[in-house]
Structure 1
Amino acid sequence: MAMQWTSMVAIYGLFWVLSAFLVMPVGLRTPGDVKGHTVAKGHADSAPVNFRPRVIAARATVLALALFGLYYANYAEQWITVEDLNVFGRPPVQDLGY
């Protein structure tokens, strides 16, 4: 069973956004972490000193590729299915009397 390419792009995009939020705080330093750095008037004390969006995007891309690769391998090989995640068992069959 093959996945449509549009679905692949959409799912990868979701993984990328999730990955971006996961890697964003990695390596950031606040003014309190850097000696001799003063906070300008009007700036937050918690604002990062070394924000690098290209590094964050690169890290998010690599992590999203790994996560999507695992997702697609599971999709193709069916290692974990919906039935495996059903912890409550099958619902009881109801006789509707038709």
Structure 2
Amino acid sequence: MDSLSKASLGISEPKVTAQLKDGSEAQSLIVFGAFDQCESTRFGTTGTGDALTLAVGSTMVSCQVFLAPARDEIKTVEYTDSRYTYAKYGDNPYLKNPISWTK
């Protein structure tokens, strides 16, 4: 995710989904604790409590693992952005036109 140009807490992790060969949605792996193969970092913050904001110029790295049953595979991955980045979720330009990677 790009570095922040202004402070905000209205940004959450981007929404990324994956689809299997038949078009059904692949499950994502929920990781509790450390997972060496999937390194992630969070935005830097300043302040505390109600005055907590994301630090301008900070960056984050997000890693997501998707699961496919044996003898199946992930065919498409789509980015539709976070639902909390926009005042109204319908304003999200990626909802109807997601960025897609297809194998």
Q: Could you tell me the TM-score, scaled by structure 2's length? A: 0.25
Give the structure, 1 or 2, with the largest relative contact order (CA under 8 Å, sep 6 or more): 2
More strand, by proportion: 2
Q: Bigger radius of gyration, 1 or 2?
A: 1
More helix by share: 1
TM-score of the aligned structures, taking structure 1 as reference length? 0.26
